[in-house]
Amino acid sequence: MTDWLARVGGGVRRWTADVGWSARLFLRLLGLLLPTLRRGRLLADQVHFLGNYSLAIIAVSGLFVGFVLSLQGYYILQRYGSAEALGLMVALSLLRELGPVVAALLFAGRAGTALTAEIGLMKAGEQLSAMEMMAVDPVRRVLAPRFWAGVIAMPLLAAVFSAVGILGGWVVGVLMIGVDSGAFWGQMQSGVDVWSDLGNGVLKSVVFGFTVSFVALLQGYVAQPTPEGVSRATTRTVVMASLAVLGLDFVLTALMFTI
Amino acid sequence: MERSRNDVWVGLFVLLGAAALLFLALQSANLLSLSFEKTYQVTARFDNAGGLKPQAAVKSAGVVVGRVESIRFNDQTFQADVVLALESRYGFPKDSSLKILTSGLLGEQYIGIEAGGEPDNWAQGAVITQTQSALVLENLIGQFLFNKASEDKAPASQ
């Protein structure tokens, strides 16, 4: 009985310590914004690695999501005789939900895993310990530029996703199905609000940028320094980042659009 | 700071992202229609504002001439005070009347202005009481049923 109690207590204590440690790491990374910006070289390299290399998959996915949205939306809308609202439907779904969320999921899969594996391998190769020996702070030198690069890249990628998606929706809706082009853009422009739709979508993607980058770096940083540990950490990055994005998305949507 | 070939690509990426945002703002959200034109405020009193929402269009002859700024309940008159921001370049005679209209059968509601004939125009802060409320479907059906019932009863009483 005492044994069992001790196990529960130990579990809770360890869990609290883990959460506290992660929160402190997160606050440190937030506080390192200015030093990171001052070392633009490191930041630019990471934006290149995380952003530019994710661009192709984001753009292609956005294009096809736009295609499918337009096609599916047309079949549903024309049943109610309102195929002209196609542009509005495509734009709102992309700006409010699909743009930020799908881009974040892809970003977690494409860039988050790369971050985790990189940090995990650095740890396994004792590079991080070597840095500490040379009085170089690995959080400042390695983690912070990657973190802020992810935060910068994510909203840009989400914007590219939405823009390409709307163009894709236009290609299918207007060029292939033959919805009136004026109605497509006109309904969109009268129905989409800059702040409440576009602004909230951008805000979401910024939050997801923080989430995905932090989860990826944390998993790499606490990974077991073995090949197996790194592979586990990479998997956990995808699972946890995706779940966090989806859960946060619900909370953010509930906060933003119901008031 | 030394330059590397990465810089060009990073710059391109950031520009592309900014261009996408700009495209979304201009083309889909139509930021330009948020006119930065000077406006003047007038308050219209409606018996029933129906489903009117802030930012709804104010149209005259089908052309947007302003936006609804806010809708508040006035506990002195028990009416809805709707504040309209009208573009300064358009003036409307003092006896113009306002109607809450619906675009299409199920579309969103907007305010229509029918110009009157007086020489003086509305000024900043004017209060308009010549209004026609939104159509409330329940009232309409209620009236219809009431008329129907009285019609049915009429022959019997004769």
Mean pLDDT by 10 residues, chain B (158 residues): 72 89 79 67 88 82 86 90 88 88 74 88 87 80 87 64
Mean pLDDT in residue range A191-200: 85
Q: B83 near B67, Cβ under 8 Å?
A: no
* pLDDT confidence bin for A64, thresholds 50/70/90: very high
> Does B33 sit within 8 Å of A156, measured CB to CB?
no
Q: Which of A51, A163, A192 sits opposite B23 (nearest CB)?
A: A163
pLDDT at B130: 86
What tens digit of pLDDT does each residue of A208-258 get? Answer: 999 999 999 999 999 998 999 999 999 999 999 999 999 999 999 998 876
Q: By mean pLDDT, which of A87-96, A171-180, A190-199, B8-17 is the weakest? A: A190-199
pLDDT at A74: 93
Give the residues across from B85 on adjacent strands: B41, B67
Residues of A with CB under 8 A from a CB of B: 40-41, 44-45, 47-48, 51-52, 55, 91, 95, 152-153, 155-157, 159-160, 162-164, 166, 185, 188-190, 192-194, 197-198, 202
Q: How far apart are CA A106 and CA A115, in angstroms?
A: 14
Nearest residue of B to residue A164 by CA position? B20
> Does A166 sit within 8 Å of B27, measured CB to CB?
yes
ipTM above 0.95, yes or no: no
> Does B20 sit within 8 Å of A164, measured CB to CB?
yes
* pLDDT confidence bin for A187, thresholds 50/70/90: confident
Q: Which of B10, B59, B105 to mutate to test the interface with A (most CBs of A within 10 A)?
A: B10
> Does B17 sit within 8 Å of A198, measured CB to CB?
no
Q: How far apart are CA A141 and CA B44, in angstroms?
A: 61
Q: How far apart are CA B43 and CA B71, in angstroms?
A: 9
Q: A62 near A90, Cβ under 8 Å?
A: no
Nearest residue of A to residue B34 by CA position? A194
Own/partner long-range contacts of B123-129 (Cβ < 8 Å, ≥24 apart): B123/B40, B124/B40, B124/B41, B124/B42, B125/B41, B125/B42, B125/B43, B126/B42, B126/B43, B126/B94, B127/B42, B127/B43, B127/B44, B127/B45, B128/B42, B128/B43, B128/B44, B128/B45, B128/B96, B128/B97, B128/B98, B129/B45
Q: B95 near B117, Cβ under 8 Å?
A: yes
Q: Which of A47, A55, A188 sits opposite B28 (nearest CB)?
A: A188
Contacts of A159 in chain B (CB under 8 A): 17, 20-21, 24
Q: How far apart are CA A61 and CA A106, in angstroms?
A: 9
Measure in Å the smallest separation between the Cα of B10 and chain A Cα atoms. Answer: 5
Maximal C-alpha separation, chain A: 74
> Does B7 sit within 8 Å of A198, measured CB to CB?
no
Measure in Å the smallest separation between the Cα of B119 and chain A Cα atoms. Answer: 34
Mean pLDDT in residue range A119-132: 91
pLDDT at B106: 62
Minimal CA–CA distance to B56: which of B123, B4, B105, B107?
A: B107
Buried/exposed code over A156-175 (b: 16+ C-beta within 10 A; e: otherwise): bbbbbbbbbbbebbbebbbe
Mean pLDDT in residue range A186-207: 87
Phi, psi of B90 (to 5 degrees): -105, 125
What tens digit of pLDDT does each residue of A28-43 get? Answer: 999 999 988 888 888 8
Q: How far apart are CA A37 and CA B8, in angstroms?
A: 18
Q: Which of A166, A190, A194 sits opposite B25 (nearest CB)?
A: A194
* pLDDT confidence bin for A181, thresholds 50/70/90: confident
Q: What is the sign of the dihedral through the CA atoms of A174, A175, A180 and A185?
A: positive
pLDDT at A221: 92
DSSP conformation letters of B41-99: EEEEEES--TT--TT-EEEETTEEEEEEEEEEEETTTTEEEEEEEEETT---BTT-EEE
Measure in Å the smallest separation between the Cα of B42 and chain A Cα atoms. Answer: 23
Q: Who wins on pLDDT, B148 or A26?
A: A26
Q: How far apart are CA B97 and CA B15, in angstroms?
A: 49
pLDDT at A66: 95
Q: B15 near B23, Cβ under 8 Å?
A: no
Minimal CA–CA distance to A121: which of A150, A142, A147?
A: A142
Model pTM above 0.80: no
Contacts of B13 in chain A (CB under 8 A): 47-48, 51-52, 55, 153, 156
pLDDT at B68: 86
Token pair 């892809």: residue: A106
Measure in Å the smallest separation between the Cα of A95 and chain B Cα atoms. Answer: 9
Cβ pairs A/B, distance under 8 A: 85
